[in-house]
Structure 1
Amino acid sequence: MKNLIVVLFLMVLFSCKTDSKEETRTISIEEDVVFLASDELEGRQTGTDGEKAAANYIAERFKNLGLQAKGTNGYFQAFSFKPQTDPHQKVNYTVKDGDSTITGTNVIGFLDNNAENTIIIGAHYDHLGYGAEGSLYRGETQEIHNGADDNASGVAVMLSLAKKLATANSGNNYLFMAFSGEEMGLLGSNYFTKNATIDLSKANYMINMDMVGRLKQDSTLAVYGVGTSPILKHVIKANNSKFKIIENESGVGPSDHTSFYNSDIPVMHFFTGQHEDYHKPGDDTPKLNYEGMDMISSYIFEIISDLDDNGKLPFRTTKNESDDVPVFKVALGVIPDYLFDGKGMRIDGITEDKVAHKAGLEKGDIVIKLGDSLVTNMNSYMRALSSFEEGDKTKVVVKRGDIEVERDIEFQKF
């Protein structure tokens, strides 16, 4: 039944097609998200029928947008691997048929402008199925993790950019990629950089969209990797008139741009922030800000347009900020608001039955003191948290509206 629904959906979308290089009507960002995050795809876990259906959909979209197939088998680049049992172990892509082998599939389309260099634009399309490793859902029954924001949103914005770039900005070629295996450790992007279907020495820069579907009312947008080429900070600011931009210089982060940064390619990663539904069944289509996604697509297009005649961007290494992250033995049980740039650490979500929940902390509270340590930003919060062990008792002070609230807490294991 699931495969029948996929086929029928594709027939409806593409039944009016008269030319393989031109769509007769524009498919909206919302339509792409609604399909990719539908229950019928069962959470798009790597290697499942649901992920394969999503791959077929994206390949058909690429075809109808006039993109050339640039995988190893048409639009597809399959890779097989054995899941890691040791988090420090390298993934073994060279496997034999047999037990525990999973096959993921990157989907790759190419817009050839006969240019010297190629811009890579990507987004991962896999998610957690019914709650694979990485799920934060603690319910007793299995629920589909549809991953509307994570990351049907990024794929939809990528497809909208492919539509825009088909008739504009011919100073570069464009390689559009939907990555598999991101949730299992950036596997698809890592595999591609080691088995690229283009000459990576001609890669100009890479743009990654991961979780761009929940632009908040204050229009805060994070752009990571702005230190990976000298011009990026300028171009991010020069083309912005609508967003409150949070910049991060590092080219290393928990998404697919890292694989390209590690191949000495400048990167930009766009992100609208974490939320309470992250890696939970609640990450569904009605909660997305589709107008915000259109704005982000237009913003990225303007950046690409501005850089169209700049030639190949120079690469610059950045400090890996994760090297400075302390080791934690305990957790407060909150989702930090990583886009908050005020004083303190704002709580964007509370995990049920954890320390913060038991202490009566609330979403929107701003932690300004933890134990004897003042909390002025995310880094000072992490340093303060790293000083505690299981069973330690202390006080936390939060700003709630115009008042300060103090609570006693006892730490649990991380």
Structure 2
Amino acid sequence: MKKFVFLFLLVGILSCKNDNKHIEGRLVYKNEIKKDVSFLADDKLQGRQTGTEGEIKASSYIAERFKEIELKPKGTNDFIQTFSFKPKTDPHKEVEFTTNADSTITGHNVIGYLDNRAEQTIVIGAHYDHLGFGGEGSLYREKDKAIHNGADDNASGVAVLLDIATRLSIKKQGAEIWDNNNYLFIAFSGEEMGLLGSNYFSKNPTIDSETINYMINMDMVGRMKLDSTLAVYGTGTSPIFKQTLKSNNDKFKLIENESGVGPSDHTSFYLIDIPVLHFFTGQHEDYHKPGDDSEKLNYDGMNLISDYIIDIINDLNDNGKLPFRKTKNESEETPRFKVGLGVVPDYLFDGKGMRIDGTREDTPATNAGLQKGDIVIKLGDSTVTNMMSYMRALSVFDNGDEAAITIKRGEKIIETKVKF
């Protein structure tokens, strides 16, 4: 009898999922943000450059996670939407998507769907590709090649996306009344080569694009600073966004930017008249360098961002289809310049001037003795009050020019010269 009972219990245990994500066939919450980042930013994936074996391994991992979360496949081949393109030779031309196999690169968007039988759908996205061993986008200046793991850029965004997807999937299975929106989760490839995956999806959507309510994008959300600064772009793309962000915020120092155009995948959706919100915790010294590794991320900060986005989604749930509003495109007004200081600006700084978040070796900045934390308040004859005025000041100089520069370092004002 004891043997029979034991076998009965064993069969019962084996017949139900019990992988720490499911109990008795039901999905349960487990925070796996750190685990997801660790896999995606591992050396084994060799930087996840679009079209490489590492990118394919990353796409397979994300597809498997979507399956565990109980999302439905919404690619063109199960969870995957492939796109092939010819690398650009002219940086001013648009990329050419093609089915011709000659001299092409193939990328893989990963797309999962949470169907709440609603009339409209929220797109939640993050790119998972990075720079491989460096190449054109790298800021690494050593001669030897090194893997650029891209933990913050953008394993962090994908990990938060997966966390949000898990929580929304659990919410659905436990609710008698489902949300007023469906959810489409997209891990984009080709972002580092020019927003290619999101551009391709916007032109070849796997759902009716007219049903898309709004889009949330996360790119570099893993390095929240001690002052809890969080940048949110696209706040002007729908009239309701600013109040929603404010009413759900008690944790962050928000830096808001109204424009729907910026250097990440939300831009592709704004350009087809969809409201967008883009979340970002700022650049740092490891940006586009081999040092962007998983142990340097602020996982508590990532958890807070996941909570915040869930709160925003829940708050907007009963507002119907959000109205879209065009915004001023700051990128069209950005001055063109031939020189640079060789610094990483602090894009989250909201004081007067341009604060330096990092310096690169053997550049005009380091040769002039500029340091991380310095605030540039004057360059040449121009007063620097923000990022735009800093770029305008740079635009008048050529290689070989020398300029006076004034910085604030702590309480000190330092005047020196910089040679471009």
- Any idea what the Cα deviations from partners look like across 1:78-106, whole Å, max 9, x if unmatched? 111111111111211124122x2111000
Aligned equivalents of 1:16, 1:290: Cα separation in 2: 21
The one-letter amino acid paired with 2:165 is A
Are 1:22 and 1:64, in contact at CA under 8 Å, matched by a contact in 2?
no
| Residue 287 (structure 1) aligned with residue 296 (structure 2) | yes
Q: Secondary structure at the match of 1:309?
A: coil
The one-letter amino acid paired with 2:144 is T
Match of 1:248 among 248, 251, 257: 257
Which residue of the partner structure matches residue 81 of structure 2? 77
- Any idea what the Cα deviations from partners look like across 1:240-260, whole Å, max 9, x if unmatched? 000000000000001000000
Which protein shows a greater Rg? 2
Aligned equivalents of 1:85, 1:237: Cα separation in 2: 44
Q: Which runs of 5+ in 1 are unaligned?
A: 1-13
Match of 1:40 among 15, 32, 44: 44
Q: Give the TM-score normalised by structure 2.
A: 0.92
Aligned equivalents of 1:87, 1:240: Cα separation in 2: 40
Aligned equivalents of 1:20, 1:88: Cα separation in 2: 55
Which residue of the partner structure matches residue 3 of structure 2? none
Q: Secondary structure at the match of 1:42?
A: helix
Q: Secondary structure at the match of 1:381?
A: helix
Aligned equivalents of 1:130, 1:15: Cα separation in 2: 35
Are 1:21 and 1:63, in contact at CA under 8 Å, matched by a contact in 2?
no
| Residue 360 (structure 1) aligned with residue 356 (structure 2) | no
- Any idea what the Cα deviations from partners look like across 1:267-293, whole Å, max 9, x if unmatched? 000000011111100100111000000
Which residue of the partner structure matches residue 6 of structure 1? none
Aligned equivalents of 1:27, 1:364: Cα separation in 2: 34
| Residue 400 (structure 1) aligned with residue 409 (structure 2) | yes
Aligned equivalents of 2:365, 2:25: Cα separation in 1: 54
CA drift of 1:133 comes to 2.0
CA drift of 1:72 comes to 0.4
The one-letter amino acid paired with 2:43 is D
Q: Secondary structure at the match of 2:135?
A: coil
Which residue of the partner structure matches residue 11 of structure 1? none
Which residue of the partner structure matches residue 8 of structure 1? none
Quote the RMSD (CA, aligned, Å): 1.6
Which residue of the partner structure matches residue 323 of structure 1? 332
Aligned equivalents of 2:217, 2:48: Cα separation in 1: 19
Are 1:20 and 1:63, in contact at CA under 8 Å, matched by a contact in 2?
no
- Any idea what the Cα deviations from partners look like across 1:350-377, whole Å, max 9, x if unmatched? 0110100101000000001111211111
Count of aligned residue pairs for this structure pair: 398
Match of 1:180 among 176, 185, 189: 189
The one-letter amino acid paired with 1:44 is R
Structure 1 outlier segments of 4+, above 4 Å: 14-25
- Any idea what the Cα deviations from partners look like across 1:144-192, whole Å, max 9, x if unmatched? 0000000000000000100111133611000000000000000000000
Match of 1:49 among 31, 39, 53: 53
- Any idea what the Cα deviations from partners look like across 1:34-66, whole Å, max 9, x if unmatched? 000000110000011111111011001000101
Aligned equivalents of 1:75, 1:331: Cα separation in 2: 42
The one-letter amino acid paired with 2:187 is A
Which residue of the partner structure matches residue 92 of structure 1? 96
- Any idea what the Cα deviations from partners look like across 1:202-222, whole Å, max 9, x if unmatched? 000000000000000000000
Aligned equivalents of 1:148, 1:71: Cα separation in 2: 25
The one-letter amino acid paired with 2:83 is F
| Residue 193 (structure 1) aligned with residue 202 (structure 2) | yes
399 and 302 in structure 1: CA distance in 2 versus 1, 3 angstrom threshold? same
Aligned equivalents of 2:274, 2:358: Cα separation in 1: 34
Are 2:27 and 2:170, in contact at CA under 8 Å, matched by a contact in 1?
no
Aligned equivalents of 2:123, 2:29: Cα separation in 1: 25
CA drift of 1:132 comes to 2.5
Which residue of the partner structure matches residue 12 of structure 2? none
Which residue of the partner structure matches residue 10 of structure 2? none
Q: Give the TM-score normalised by structure 1.
A: 0.94
Which residue of the partner structure matches residue 280 of structure 2? 271
Q: Secondary structure at the match of 2:96?
A: coil
CA drift of 1:22 comes to 4.5
Aligned equivalents of 1:326, 1:283: Cα separation in 2: 29
Aligned equivalents of 1:34, 1:347: Cα separation in 2: 29
Q: Secondary structure at the match of 1:196?
A: coil
Are 1:21 and 1:66, in contact at CA under 8 Å, matched by a contact in 2?
no
Aligned equivalents of 2:233, 2:218: Cα separation in 1: 10
Q: Percent identity?
A: 68
Are 1:22 and 1:66, in contact at CA under 8 Å, matched by a contact in 2?
no
Q: Which runs of 5+ in 2 are unaligned?
A: 1-17, 172-177
| Residue 105 (structure 1) aligned with residue 108 (structure 2) | yes
